[in-house]
Amino acid sequence: MDKNRQLATIKIAVNDAARLIAVKETQLLNTDPEESFDRLTKLASKLLKTPISFVTLLEANRDFVKSHFGLPEPIATQREITAHPSFCQHIVSHREPLILEDARKSALFKDFPSVLNMGVRAYAGIPLITVEGQALGTCCVVDFKPRKWKKDEIEILKELAKSVMTEINLKQIAYKLKKENEYKDEFINIASHELKTPLTSLKLYTQRLQRKFIKNEQLENVEDIDKVVKQLARLDILVTDLLDLTRIQGDKLSLNKTKFDLNLLVEEIIESLQQTTHHKILYQSTLKKYIRADRERIGQVITNLVSNAVKYSPKADKVVIKLVENNNNAQINIQDFGIGILPKNITKLFERFYRVTGSKESKYSGLGLGLYISSEIINSHHGRIWVDSVYGQGSTFNITLPLQ
Ligand code: ADP
């Protein structure tokens, strides 16, 4: 084949649409240098004793340098080779290793820009080929003097090219997982917003009905509507948790801090929760000072912990709440006498969606978000939240919040 036809063939192969899509899908184009790739190019130069080594991903008009060792300026900074035709293009089009002892001796390569302008003499490059068979780019080494490549050296380069390919695949998997997570978060965000509006109207209408039934003394209806109100309240907690989750994820959990009496807040919560449970909620406090915090959010945390204390101790008859001053902090302890938590599960308790699995625990429903949201709220107040528990005997959830 004459030289012009060879160069035309290279161009056609490099511009192949499916190949270009595969390169784009690596999600590595224009990314910053990454240590995992840099380590491999450095190793290539060290093992093969070459002044230059690099990894490229080939687009239509440029060879993007994903990683390199020893490339001169301006390529080192720009991280792209646009002087074409290039050896990398030749490798990608032929999908085979290119091993040159002295490029000047080849009719095809002697006029390549890297030979004429950079002084490249010896070259060895391996194509990076995906499992689907697309040639993405190359892993190559360069020398400025002619050199006979040993068989072992080419084997080493092939192994390094395989490692580069593994790295590319890993990055692609990580990217896909990240994207899937983002879609899930987006779905939760939209779904919870969409659910909140009809739920709020439903709550209003049922409350109105409830008042009407009570006024007209329609006792049977009152009983039924009470059940609806209770279930709606449960649904409201779930949807609110999902909304909070998306706020936390988007760093949008804003705090409205005011100075207030924590005792009063705890008393209000107890009054409200006491109506929903047979557990006696006992309360002792020695705290005299006010705290500065988001009253509603702190109320949400305490409500959540007390509700959990009730929920996870069905056979117990009490929950004990203590409020004290401790080292310039307000400290709240919420103690239950329920199922308790195994030590191995305690560290994971505050992770999002985490729920303890086991025959005892599986009968309780929930999303596993309450403790995650609570810990985010407490952390954003520069406080601490932790749990002490004895499996089978009960748990104490503790919070500290800095006092003024
Ligand atoms: P949910 O209660 O909706 O599952 P949480 O985030 O509030 O979510 O709690 C996470 C998990 O921690 C629960 O599934 C439960 O296994 C465990 N847990 C929370 N509070 C208690 C408690 N007081 N006693 C025992 N286990 C608890």
| Pocket flag, ligand 1, residue 339 (CB < 6 Å) | yes
Count how many Cα atoms sit within 13 Å of the Cα of residue 80 in the half-sphere of its side chain.
12
The reported pLDDT for the residue numbered 159 is 96
**What's the gap in Å between 403 CA and the centre of ligand 1?**
28
Q: Which atom of ligand 1 is nearest to the CA of 309?
A: 23
Length of the chain: 404
Examine the pLDDT at 1 and tell me if it is beyond 80: no
pLDDT band at 252 (very low <50, low <70, confident <90, very high): confident
Q: Which SS3 state, helix, strand or coil, does residue 294 take?
A: strand
| Pocket flag, ligand 1, residue 245 (CB < 6 Å) | no
The reported pLDDT for the residue numbered 363 is 85
Per-residue pLDDT tens for 226-241? 999 989 988 999 999 9
Ligand 1 pocket test: which of 279, 349, 391 has the largest number of ligand atoms within 8 Å of its C-beta? Answer: 349
Helix ranges restricted to H, 131-290: 151-215, 219-249, 262-274
Q: What is the mean pLDDT of residues 142-170?
A: 96
| Pocket flag, ligand 1, residue 346 (CB < 6 Å) | no
Examine the pLDDT at 404 and tell me if it is beyond 80: no
The reported pLDDT for the residue numbered 139 is 97
**What's the gap in Å between 308 CA and the centre of ligand 1?**
6
Ligand 1 pocket test: which of 248, 303, 341, 397 has the largest number of ligand atoms within 8 Å of its C-beta? Answer: 341
**What's the gap in Å between 175 CA and the centre of ligand 1?**
32
Q: Which SS3 state, helix, strand or coil, does residue 69 take?
A: strand
Mean pLDDT of the chain: 94
| Pocket flag, ligand 1, residue 279 (CB < 6 Å) | no
pLDDT band at 89 (very low <50, low <70, confident <90, very high): very high
**What's the gap in Å between 398 CA and the centre of ligand 1?**
14
pLDDT band at 2 (very low <50, low <70, confident <90, very high): confident
Q: How many CB atoms lie within 10 A of CB 16?
A: 15
pLDDT band at 91 (very low <50, low <70, confident <90, very high): very high
| Pocket flag, ligand 1, residue 337 (CB < 6 Å) | no
| Pocket flag, ligand 1, residue 361 (CB < 6 Å) | yes
| Pocket flag, ligand 1, residue 368 (CB < 6 Å) | yes
Instruction: Return the higher-pLDDT residue of 229 and 331.
Output: 331
List Cα–Cα distances, 128 to 6, 49, 84, 91, 92, in angstroms.
21, 21, 19, 9, 8
Examine the pLDDT at 153 and tell me if it is beyond 80: yes
Q: What is the mean pLDDT of residues 122-141?
A: 96
| Pocket flag, ligand 1, residue 167 (CB < 6 Å) | no
Percent of the chain with pLDDT over 70: 100
Q: What is the mean pLDDT of residues 78-91?
A: 95
pLDDT band at 168 (very low <50, low <70, confident <90, very high): very high
Nearest protein CA to atom 13 of ligand 1, as residue? 355
**What's the gap in Å between 355 CA and the centre of ligand 1?**
6
| Pocket flag, ligand 1, residue 99 (CB < 6 Å) | no
Q: Which atom of ligand 1 is nearest to the CA of 373?
A: 6
The reported pLDDT for the residue numbered 360 is 80
Ligand 1 pocket test: which of 235, 240, 312, 388 has the largest number of ligand atoms within 8 Å of its C-beta? Answer: 312
The reported pLDDT for the residue numbered 148 is 96
Picking from 191, 399, 396, the residue whose alpha carbon sits closest to that of residue 313 is: 396
Per-residue pLDDT tens for 366-403? 889 999 999 999 999 999 999 999 999 999 999 999 99
Examine the pLDDT at 3 and tell me if it is beyond 90: no
Picking from 336, 347, 330, 339, the residue whose alpha carbon sits closest to that of residue 386 is: 347
> Structure tokens of 336?
């239950």
